[in-house]
Structure 1
Amino acid sequence: MFEEVSQILVVDDEAVNLELISAIFIDSPNIVILTARDGVEALEILKNHTPDVIVLDIRMPRMNGIEVLEVLKSDSRTSHIPVVVLSGDDRERKNALKHGANDFIPKPFDAEELKLRVINNLQVKKYQDLVRNINEVLQKELMKKTKELREALELAKEAEYEMVVKFGMISEFRDEETGQHIRRISYYSKLLAQLIGLPESEQNIIFYASPLHDVGKVGIPDNILKKPGPLTPEEFEIMKLHTIIGGRILTSQPKFITLQAGKIIAEQHHEKWDGSGYPYGLKGEEIHIYARIVAVCDVFDAITSDRVYRPAFSIEQAIDIMKKGRESHFDPQLLDIFLNNFDEFLKIRETFKD
């Protein structure tokens, strides 16, 4: 799957788990497995190696997984490495996410699920590295002639958008949506930003960042993400974690404007105007304008598209549903502008059909 060699560090105090996880990747010649029996040994390995993903057990002697996470996320050399935690305890998994874990796998783990989750996080890491590299290239291009710079910037922006779309689609390959949903959200969001009078620079930011709204779904188990019926309260609590996971994935330095905006949108696009949303219960203008814009656009696109748990609603039904959420779910001013310019959004929907 990956042309260059990728390293995965597995940290677990049970030798049988280290052997089993190593065996899972034996048919992947471009993946090298490093192993550590506890947190102390893992940190020693990290002095000489920079793995692309860390699989981390929580309960270990000498230094447990939470303590290791605290060290990893406080060090700039390791804070960007995705960490997939192993734990059979729901509270431990939530605590690990709060301490910066990117994903979790229940114990005892399913070998196929573990492999898929690790590879998903490996893909995310590769895309993040690629975005960083592009930004470095752009900084160097600033030293070149104006004409060359313009051409490079245009090409880089096109490449950045395609990468962001594909980055956003990582979770959608599991959620059975399509890249057209990602593109519709992108164009809807930019249009709504334009209609409310945001400057062109911010219109472009939301255009590039909005496709990342659901990237955290990469961390949600398939049996919940693809469930054909209603979720139980317990399953819904896990589903809500995709906002926090998305924020973790997109955490970056402030100079990476697209990723910073994507983090805000990923974390806040399920917040509601009346404060009844998640994950933080933000209310009114406490919710960032980018997230309020994407909330309107995402709900419209979601309810007018087929989902595994229900068929699409008609346009008329969608408008009815959204009007009912005018001062509870949505920023009323944004919703009014959206509905008053509805024909323009329908043109986008027609352009990017599934």
Structure 2
Amino acid sequence: MIEEISKILAVDDEEINLELISAVFSDSPEIMILTASNGKEALEIIKKHMPDVIVLDIRMPKMDGIQVLEILKSKPETSYIPVVVLSGDEKERKRALKTGANDFVPKPFDAEELKLRVINNLHVKKYHDLIKNLNEILKNEVKKKTEELIEALATAREAEYEIIIKLGMISEFRDEETGQHIRRLSYYSKLLAKLAGLSETEQDTIFYASPLHDVGKIGIPDNILKKKGPLISQEFEIMKLHTVIGGKILETHPRFTTLQAARIIAEQHHEKWDGSGYPRGLKGEEIHIYARIVTICDVFDAMTSHRIYRPAMSVEQAINIIKNEERKNFDPRLLNIFLNNLDKFLEIKKTFKD
């Protein structure tokens, strides 16, 4: 994960602590340690040598750690730098966390714990940098795939659908799901759009656009995407970025209506009816109807299909869970239409078995 030289800035008014921190990383040639004996000196170093992680003492002369934190978190260019605070006082540590610190190590610190926490925060910083530089990364990673998709828009609709399915399968393949999932999803979505009264043009649009709902997962690291156990909070925050990545991948000229619809679905299919979803916390009809339709279909198919982290649920189990989440997650009108026509959706499921 850590390939180029990473800079760690250690800030402490006690020289012995700076020496100890430097010694902790002496066996890590890929890490450079910068040191500062007070907050003002630290800010000057940051201007010249932007660090990847800051290890920050709280009690210092001239400018204490809390003041440094407030300055760092108030500026866009430094707000994302992980800060690990050092303090033996519980109240100080809580205050630092409220101010924006990412982690803490009690003083006197354990060298191994400090190193592990700094390395973990360094990994998070590298993931942040990956997303920050997403446009350039995507240019290298998905240029061929997007070119193939743009060219396909000029072909027959049947050929276009197959190519969209294949592109959607890129993310599904990495997530160890099957191509049948995205085929079922497209047919489910078209059927629900029809039952909800959308025009034939809109039904076709959602049919061709919905397979790309998870295309952003190609930007999620395998160790998170394929993790068999539960994600920790930092990993989940990275996983949630697949909606943003998908939107970036699918940005295109307005005349490509299918890709425009796919971008909306990719960005919004994890928004929830009550506003508790992500990435934007949209609520109710702020969420595009395409995304509201795909959300219901995607959740149903995910629950009733085998996943790397759990076996498939029965249709009855899935419906009970969906009903319990009705007011929170789903458009109630669309969900009612779905449930009242469940037999039609089960026919699609039977047709496109895994």
Q: What TM-score bracket applies, with the shorter chain setting the length?
A: 0.5 to 0.7
Deviates more, 1:287-296 or 1:226-235: 226-235
Task: Within 5 Å, give how 1:128-277 maps onto structure 2.
Answer: 128-135=146-153, 138=154, 156-277=156-277
Deviation of the 1:227 alpha carbon: 1.3
Output the amino acid matched with 2:326: R
State the Cα deviation string for residues 95-128 of structure 1 (Å, max 9, x = none): 663565375xxxxxxxxxxxxxx8xx75732232
SS of alignment partner, residue 146 of structure 2: helix
Between the aligned partners of 2:193 and 2:220, the Cα distance in structure 1 is 30
Between the aligned partners of 1:159 and 1:96, the Cα distance in structure 2 is 34
Deviation of the 1:233 alpha carbon: 1.2
Distance 1:222 1:92, change over 3 A: closer
Distance 1:13 1:233, change over 3 A: closer
Contact 1:124 1:167 in 2 (8 A): no
Contact 1:296 1:335 in 2 (8 A): yes
Task: Within 5 Å, give how 1:57-136 maps onto structure 2.
Answer: 88=122, 90-91=124-125, 93-94=127-128, 97=131, 100-101=134-135, 124-135=142-153
SS of alignment partner, residue 182 of structure 2: helix
Distance 1:242 1:132, change over 3 A: same
Output the amino acid matched with 1:90: V
Deviation of the 1:216 alpha carbon: 0.7
Match of residue 97 from structure 2: none
Between the aligned partners of 1:195 and 1:272, the Cα distance in structure 2 is 21
Between the aligned partners of 1:256 and 1:219, the Cα distance in structure 2 is 23
Output the amino acid matched with 1:101: N
Match of residue 317 from structure 1: 317
RMSD after superposition: 2.8
Output the amino acid matched with 1:125: K
Match of residue 22 from structure 1: none
Q: Which runs of 5+ in 2 are unaligned?
A: 6-45, 50-75, 78-120
Contact 1:102 1:249 in 2 (8 A): no
Contact 1:243 1:279 in 2 (8 A): yes
Between the aligned partners of 1:277 and 1:184, the Cα distance in structure 2 is 24
State the Cα deviation string for residues 311-353 of structure 1 (Å, max 9, x = none): 1111100010100111100000010000000000000000000
Deviation of the 1:129 alpha carbon: 1.2
Deviation of the 1:270 alpha carbon: 0.3
Between the aligned partners of 2:162 and 2:4, the Cα distance in structure 1 is 41
Q: Which runs of 5+ in 1 are unaligned?
A: 1-11, 15-58, 68-86, 104-117, 139-154
Distance 1:157 1:102, change over 3 A: farther
Deviation of the 1:281 alpha carbon: 0.5
Between the aligned partners of 1:176 and 1:102, the Cα distance in structure 2 is 27
Distance 1:166 1:218, change over 3 A: same
Output the amino acid matched with 2:143: K
Between the aligned partners of 1:102 and 1:300, the Cα distance in structure 2 is 35
TM-score using structure 1 length: 0.64
Distance 1:174 1:320, change over 3 A: same
Deviation of the 1:195 alpha carbon: 0.2
Task: Within 5 Å, give how 1:269-308 maps onto structure 2.
Answer: 269-308=269-308
The aligned length equals 244
Between the aligned partners of 1:95 and 1:277, the Cα distance in structure 2 is 24
Between the aligned partners of 2:278 and 2:290, the Cα distance in structure 1 is 16
Between the aligned partners of 1:192 and 1:338, the Cα distance in structure 2 is 7
Distance 1:261 1:195, change over 3 A: same
Output the amino acid matched with 1:314: S
Contact 1:102 1:219 in 2 (8 A): no
